[in-house]
Every structure is written in structure tokens, then in C-alpha cells.
């Protein structure tokens, strides 16, 4: 994301903070050094998973340059509660720092939820589930309704529009800059229809969206649960999941078993001619197995 785009997004988010006068991007609130041991992580923090590689990179940056962007905290009994900036806090801890620069502001639980959701939406590695969760939090706050009421309201608006509500929704989504509320309700919010176990894995950072979507398309629940476990253990690709979910799945599972046995690192240590032979043999084996499966299917059809 370009600097101009980040600034534009920040300005849009700042306009959503009307109830918090000193938190707009131009307010330049004072920054304090807050001891890390005095910062508590909120149980309802929207971000639940942090990429190990990205976190390691940030730790190195913090060691070399310190924490460049202050975190946001609010005073609570016994210290401070983190509102935004958990990744920076974790990186500072791993880098051996004892304090981080922080903006300290009084905020209600509702305001803290809003601010955390706004920061979450600005992440460059935002996944569809995080985006939906953050958007629901913001829309609920702006319309002063419970978060669980947002989607039913959006669907009701599509069926029977109420001009005043439509205007409010248009305004909020225009500020967020992530499409219209209609497209959100029709497309992005569909991730919430995934089975609960897949949503839990996504929120834990164990399963990314693309493979979760492939698993969610499997209607046979025992098969889906089985393939979910295999996906976690064997790192099945989206294509592997789709093959294993086919009605005639005996042959594809044989193909997948062969692929699983092939160690990419071991093959990579072979010379180029040997690597080419391995690929040729694998292609030949796959063709044989697929041909066998097709002949078996035709034979069953004739018998029936």
C-alpha cells in the first residue's frame, strides 16, 4: 500500500472517531514511555494470530531502530490495557525492551473495540475473516446496534430499503473504502457461513482462507472433518482437497498419497536429469491411475 493510500485510509478512519476528540490523525497527542510489564492485553483483541516470519522481521527492526509507531493504551487498575499495537508490544518484548512509546487515552469498552477494529482494518496482511469481523464491529458502533444485528439489518435493507438506514450504511462503507455494504453482505460476509470449526482454525491462524473455503464446500461433514485434519497434518493444497472430495475419491487419494511420499527437498538434491525423470514418472503414474479410475467408472455404469 502506498504512503498516499495509507494516509487517505487513516484520514477516513479518523473521521469515524468523532466520540474521541484527541484521537484523530492530526491531533498529535502526547507520547509516553510505558513499561511493558504494566501493559495488559485485552481478551477481545481482534487480531488473534501473528505470522512468525513477519514478527521476527519486526523484532529485528525494533532491535535496530526501536518502536517507531506508538501503541495505544488506556489506563486500568494496575496499569494499562492495550487497545492497538499488540504486534509492536510482542516484538518489543522479544527484542528485550522494557518500555514502548504509547499514547494513553481514556476510552470506554465500546470505544476501545472500535479503535482496535479500525487499526485491524489497516493491516496489509488482512484476511477475509478479520476484515469481516472488524467491519461488523465498526458498523455496529456507528449504527448503535449490537454486532449480531448488523448482517440481518443488511439483508433486510437489500429486501426492503429504508432511505435513512441506507444513507447511514452508504456513509460508513464509503469512509472504510472497502466496497459497498451490498457487496459486503452478498460476498465478503459469506465467510461467516463456514462451519464453526473452520472459523476457529482461521481465527487461530492455523488455516488460511483459501483452504478453509475449499473445505467449506464439502457437504459431507465426516469427510470434511477428515480432510481438515489431513490438511493440517499434511499441508494439503486447495487442489488436493478438491480431488479428495470428489465422489470417486479412491483414485485421487492414491495420487495424493504418492505426492505426499515425495519429499521436495530430497528431489531438489538430485541432478537436473534425475529431477526430470522423477517428474516424468510421476506424470506417467498419475495418467495410469486416472485412466484406471475412468475405466472403473465406465464398468460400473455398464453393470448398472
pLDDT band for position 258 (cuts 50, 70, 90)? low
Mean pLDDT score, 50-64 = 82
pLDDT band for position 296 (cuts 50, 70, 90)? low
Separation between Cα atoms, residue 236 and residue 101, nearest integer Å: 42
Q: Please give the pLDDT value at position 254.
A: 59
pLDDT tens digits for range 65-75: 999 889 989 99
pLDDT surpasses 90 at 299: no
Q: Please give the pLDDT value at position 273.
A: 81
Active-site residue (options: 81, 86, 119, 131):
86
Known active-site residue 286 = no
pLDDT band for position 52 (cuts 50, 70, 90)? confident
Mean pLDDT score, 152-174 = 91
pLDDT surpasses 80 at 17: no
The mean-pLDDT minimum among 144-148, 173-177, 187-191, 208-212 falls in: 173-177
Mean pLDDT score, 210-220 = 92
pLDDT band for position 179 (cuts 50, 70, 90)? confident
Mean pLDDT score, 117-124 = 73
Chain-wide mean pLDDT for the chain? 79
Separation between Cα atoms, residue 77 and residue 280, nearest integer Å: 67
pLDDT band for position 48 (cuts 50, 70, 90)? low
Q: Please give the pLDDT value at position 23.
A: 41
Amino acid at each position: 500500500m502506498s504512503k498516499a493510500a495509507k494516509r487517505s485510509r487513516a484520514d477516513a478512519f479518523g473521521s469515524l472517531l468523532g466520540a474521541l476528540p484527541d484521537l484523530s490523525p492530526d491531533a498529535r497527542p502526547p507520547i509516553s514511555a510505558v513499561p511493558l510489564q504494566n501493559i495488559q492485553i485485552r481478551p477481545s483483541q481482534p487480531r488473534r494470530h501473528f505470522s512468525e516470519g513477519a514478527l521476527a522481521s519486526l523484532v529485528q527492526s525494533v532491535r535496530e531502530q526501536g518502536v517507531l509507531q506508538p501503541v495505544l493504551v488506556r489506563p486500568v487498575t494496575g496499569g494499562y490495557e492495550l487497545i492497538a499495537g499488540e504486534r509492536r508490544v510482542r516484538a518489543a518484548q522479544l527484542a528485550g525492551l522494557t518500555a514502548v512509546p504509547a499514547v494513553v487515552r481514556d476510552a470506554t469498552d465500546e470505544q476501545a473495540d472500535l479503535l482496535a477494529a479500525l487499526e485491524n482494518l489497516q493491516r496489509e496482511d488482512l484476511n477475509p475473516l478479520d476484515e469481516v469481523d472488524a467491519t461488523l464491529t465498526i458498523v455496529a458502533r456507528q449504527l448503535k446496534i449490537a454486532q449480531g444485528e448488523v448482517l440481518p439489518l443488511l439483508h433486510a435493507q437489500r429486501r426492503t430499503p429504508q432511505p435513512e438506514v441506507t444513507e447511514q450504511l452508504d456513509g460508513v462503507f464509503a469512509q472504510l473504502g472497502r466496497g459497498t455494504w451490498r457487496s459486503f453482505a452478498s460476498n465478503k460476509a459469506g465467510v461467516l457461513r463456514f462451519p464453526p470449526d473452520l472459523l476457529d482454525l482461521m481465527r487461530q491462524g492455523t488455516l488460511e482462507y483459501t483452504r478453509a473455503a475449499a473445505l467449506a464446500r464439502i457437504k459431507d461433514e465426516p469427510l470434511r472433518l477428515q480432510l481438515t485434519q489431513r490438511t493440517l497434518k499434511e499441508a494439503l493444497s486447495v487442489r488436493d482437497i478438491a480431488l479428495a472430495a470428489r465422489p470417486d475419491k479412491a483414485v485421487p487419494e492414491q495420487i495424493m498419497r504418492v505426492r505426499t511420499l515425495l519429499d521436495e527437498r530430497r528431489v531438489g538434491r538430485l541432478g537436473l536429469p534425475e529431477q526430470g525423470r522423477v517428474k516424468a514418472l510421476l506424470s506417467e503414474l498419475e495418467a495410469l491411475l486416472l485412466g484406471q479410475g475412468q475405466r472403473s467408472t465406465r464398468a460400473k455404469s455398464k453393470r448398472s
